[in-house]
Structure 1
Amino acid sequence: METTLGPVEIAGFAETHGEQQARYPAANLPWQPVHTVYVPADRLTSTTPTDWGRAATELLDRHPEAFAAVFDHDGLPRVAAKLATEPIEDLRVDFEDGYGVRPDEDADTERAATAIAAMHAADSLPRRWGLRVKSFADGDPARAIRTLDGFLTGVIRNIGQLPSGFTVTFPKVLMSAYLGQFATYLEELEDGLGLPYQTLGFEMQVEAPQTVLFLSEATRASGGRLRAAHFGVFDYTAACGLPPHEQRLDHPACDHARNVMQTTLLPEGIELSDGSLAASPASDSHDDVLALWRRHSQLVRHSLGNGFYQGWDMHPSHLVSRYATTYAFHLRHYDEYQSRVRAWHEQRQEGGVMDEPATVKTMTAALTRARHCLGIE
């Protein structure tokens, strides 16, 4: 072919392309929990996961009609099996809002470390686990650091190692500088505990409008230790001036914040999680259980439909609606996506649909998430 310029070298291309690959890695979808369960530190015991599973199972057994009214009744055996085998996928010991300010935090930290060690010995420690420390924004970072140090020191002393799946939740990140300060401390703690470099990563909570403004620099500010970002619905909506009855996950203000999280953090490989519903059944009556499951299911579907595949669960009743809704979401289009992906690879159409490569990648990712969630090989 005849050209005008001949061979061309783009100045600086190699450096720019290398930066692109480092900052925006190719999509990789490892297993991600569908939820995080927050338990105040003073309420944690070595049997917390099984206790939650048992409580959710008993509620399900008492209210099969309510379950059938909200969910596909065919999903009940799958949900029941999950509650019996792995009720909690991600456990966070809470030393922040769910715990408060207490004079005996040291003692609760030691007890929590002992409980985690007992779960590990009993093979009941969730695949993802960790703690939420107090916020630097409260003006006392020493308290957060002391608790994290004591917790990790106790866990490693009791077990002999740091079990896989550990993470730290860093709440109310109101200043970007807090990310670097926390990351520096984690590096020092790694060194003190004899852990390999970058063992200790953390997840930040997005709980204020000003936090949204610096999300694009969060990964770099954290020195690469930022692994996930969790949306905090109640602090965020309060900071936006919304009245209490509008402080909900499906408010448009929350949609905006989540969209910014997706556009700034997701391309950099940061996991995203939605927030919670601060409610439990008002009573054990059919109507109250039905109302809770219906509302929680609506919020979980809203999150899933907007690309947030993880959320917070705050009560055993949430486990039923979380798993039932999530399973139904992933199963709804599973067979269709399989057929369309297969047809694309075979260079033929499926059902008259002309899929673009980007759509095929999205369907492939959806199938991977479904397999992770449902345990499909």
Structure 2
Amino acid sequence: MASSLTDNDVARVDARLEQTDELLERAYPGDDGSRQPIHTVYVPGHRYEPGLPAQWGADAAEAVAAAGGTAALCEKLGLDPLLTEEIAPLVDAKLASEPIEDLRIDFEDGFGDQGDDAEDAAAVAAAEHVATAVAEGTVTPFIGIRFKCFEKATRHRGLATLDRFVSTLAEAGPLPEGLILTLPKVTTVDQVEAMVGVCERLEDALGLEKGRLRFEVQMETPQLILAADGTVPVAQLLHRADGRITSLHYGTYDYSAALQIAAEYQSMEHPAADYAKQVMQVAVAETGVRLSDGSTNIIPVGSPEAALDAWKLHARLVRRSLERGYYQGWDLHAAQLPTRFIASYAFYRQGFAAAASRLDNYLHHTDAGIMDEPATARALARFVARGLQCGAVTEAEITDAAGISTRELMQLAHPKLTLKENA
């Protein structure tokens, strides 16, 4: 065979791209395939106790029962009868077994300023309650605290709460696997780097393994989208956090208020919100950092008509986020749980048959009118995997519809991980 490039030529290309190879491997490892919660529930720090998730599930079930039951609510939300028949029992089971996937014990806006003594005591009590839930096996899959931000006025208070919570929790035993800390109202990359330093110091002091403490960044300020020097800090901070950032969470109301959007029009679907979230989405692509949309403060309470209107709004916003690649959001009230699960399960079940069929055709080289590329096949596999992880579809359904095992599904969805495992 004819050939013009020598081994030296190829070696020179390797040498020239060595730093690029290192950058891609370090900064863009891809999603790790682990479970992402479909929501984060916020509760004030002084109101958390081990039985809270079960109580929220019971309250949510009671709200649904008052509306005629889950099937009736599904129909009122516009789901067709066949889909309702599939989803209603799944939602009822979810509310009974795992009503909250990710719980954030809030010492920021949800707690306010109650004085140092009260916050110290509440932070210690929260850690003790989490330790109890871990020991009893009732802790939510993901749990953590949101402490006050690193701006000058609240920095010391936030650090004290973080210290007391983590130190108390670590002294009680192994930290929960799903422990996540929340750094709110971030305005600069320096604040993120400071948080990295705090995590390192806590790990050293408590004898924790390096990298054990990870945190999410709340995107609530326009300064992270566009800095004073014209750069995009949200893209920078991901690569200055030593791999400790788990996710970016959009803060609907703080961000909207900073842009002087009138309160009536502050919403997850405002064009300003969409712009910020699109910037976030591009910034996290292939980094392994996840995204979460924000919340709606319209709660399904009051008259049946008002509750139904709020449920319809919440369900529509959840669906809207999912369609735009935001697979997580905030819930602020137990009555929002039913529509979180209804809308999420409907999203995955409505798309499952087509996605599974296309995967089957792709994997088995069937000519079915759509020639999916590898990138699209990965997207299809990730969609199905997310449906499996949140409980919308089962392993048996995936095997029957796509002719693929769960392991094969995850290998297709996350090929970078497969390559590392085989290396």
Place the TM-score, normalised by the shorter chain, in its bin: over 0.9
Letter in 2 for 1:52: W
Checking the alignment, whether the CA contact within 8 Å between 1:71 and 1:324 is kept in structure 2 is no
How far apart are 1:98 and its partner, in Å?
Answer: 1.1
Q: 1:57-76: CA deviations, max 9, x gaps?
A: 11111112444201533222
Q: Distance in 2 between matches of 1:175 and 1:32?
A: 26
Q: Distance in 2 between matches of 1:205 and 1:192?
A: 26
Q: Distance in 1 between matches of 2:256 and 2:200?
A: 33
In the alignment, structure 1 segments of 5+ residues that lack a partner are: none
Report whether the alignment pairs 1:270 with 2:289.
yes
How far apart are 1:376 and its partner, in Å?
Answer: 2.0
How far apart are 1:353 and its partner, in Å?
Answer: 1.6
Letter in 2 for 1:95: F
Report whether the alignment pairs 1:206 with 2:224.
no
Q: Distance in 2 between matches of 1:156 and 1:15?
A: 39
* TM-score normalised to structure 1 length: 0.95
How far apart are 1:151 and its partner, in Å?
Answer: 0.8
Question: Secondary structure, in 3 states, of the residue corresponding to 1:276?
Answer: coil
1:95 — aligned with what? 107
Q: In the alignment, which of 331, 337, 340 is matched to residue 313 of structure 1?
A: 331
Report whether the alignment pairs 1:48 with 2:52.
yes
1:195 — aligned with what? 208
How far apart are 1:297 and its partner, in Å?
Answer: 0.5
In the alignment, structure 2 segments of 5+ residues that lack a partner are: 226-231, 396-423
Q: In the alignment, which of 156, 161, 165 is matched to residue 147 of structure 1?
A: 161
Report whether the alignment pairs 1:68 with 2:75.
yes
How far apart are 1:288 and its partner, in Å?
Answer: 1.6
Q: 1:186-238: CA deviations, max 9, x gaps?
A: 10001111100000010000111111220111122222211111000111111
Q: In the alignment, which of 117, 122, 128 is matched to residue 114 of structure 1?
A: 128
Q: Distance in 2 between matches of 1:6 and 1:155?
A: 60
Q: 1:92-127: CA deviations, max 9, x gaps?
A: 000001111111101111221122122223321101
Checking the alignment, whether the CA contact within 8 Å between 1:266 and 1:272 is kept in structure 2 is no
1:170 — aligned with what? 183
Report whether the alignment pairs 1:292 with 2:279.
no
How far apart are 1:3 and its partner, in Å?
Answer: 4.2
Q: In the alignment, which of 359, 363, 371 is matched to residue 388 of structure 2?
A: 371
Moved more, 85-94 or 107-116: 107-116
Question: Secondary structure, in 3 states, of the residue corresponding to 1:268?
Answer: coil
**Against the structure 1 CA distance between its residues 229 and 24, is the aligned structure 2 distance closer, same or farther, given a 3 Å change threshold?**
same
Question: Secondary structure, in 3 states, of the residue corresponding to 1:131?
Answer: strand
Question: Secondary structure, in 3 states, of the residue corresponding to 1:166?
Answer: coil
Question: Secondary structure, in 3 states, of the residue corresponding to 1:204?
Answer: strand
Letter in 2 for 1:31: R
Q: Distance in 1 between matches of 2:168 and 2:320?
A: 39
Give me the CA root mean square deviation.
1.5
1:361 — aligned with what? 378
- Number of matched residues? 374
Question: Secondary structure, in 3 states, of the residue corresponding to 2:204?
Answer: helix
Question: Secondary structure, in 3 states, of the residue corresponding to 1:163?
Answer: coil
Letter in 2 for 1:84: A
Question: Secondary structure, in 3 states, of the residue corresponding to 2:238?
Answer: helix
Report whether the alignment pairs 1:251 with 2:258.
no
**Against the structure 1 CA distance between its residues 221 and 355, is the aligned structure 2 distance closer, same or farther, given a 3 Å change threshold?**
same
Moved more, 186-195 or 71-80: 71-80
Moved more, 6-15 or 235-244: 6-15
How far apart are 1:138 and its partner, in Å?
Answer: 4.9
Q: Distance in 2 between matches of 1:5 and 1:155?
A: 60
Q: In the alignment, which of 229, 236, 254 is matched to residue 217 of structure 1?
A: 236
Moved more, 258-267 or 295-304: 258-267
Q: Distance in 2 between matches of 1:174 and 1:148?
A: 19
Q: Distance in 1 between matches of 2:390 and 2:49?
A: 26
Letter in 2 for 1:337: A
1:23 — aligned with what? 27
How far apart are 1:4 and its partner, in Å?
Answer: 4.5
* TM-score normalised to structure 2 length: 0.85
How far apart are 1:5 and its partner, in Å?
Answer: 4.5
2:399 — aligned with what? none
Letter in 2 for 1:252: P
2:257 — aligned with what? 238
1:129 — aligned with what? 143
Q: 1:233-263: CA deviations, max 9, x gaps?
A: 1111111221111110011111111111111
Q: Distance in 2 between matches of 1:154 and 1:2?
A: 69
Moved more, 64-73 or 111-120: 64-73
How far apart are 1:277 and its partner, in Å?
Answer: 0.8
Moved more, 224-233 or 58-67: 58-67
Q: Distance in 1 between matches of 2:103 and 2:191?
A: 24
**Against the structure 1 CA distance between its residues 71 and 92, is the aligned structure 2 distance closer, same or farther, given a 3 Å change threshold?**
farther
Q: 1:300-323: CA deviations, max 9, x gaps?
A: 011001000000000001100000
Q: Distance in 2 between matches of 1:111 and 1:25?
A: 38
How far apart are 1:344 and its partner, in Å?
Answer: 1.2
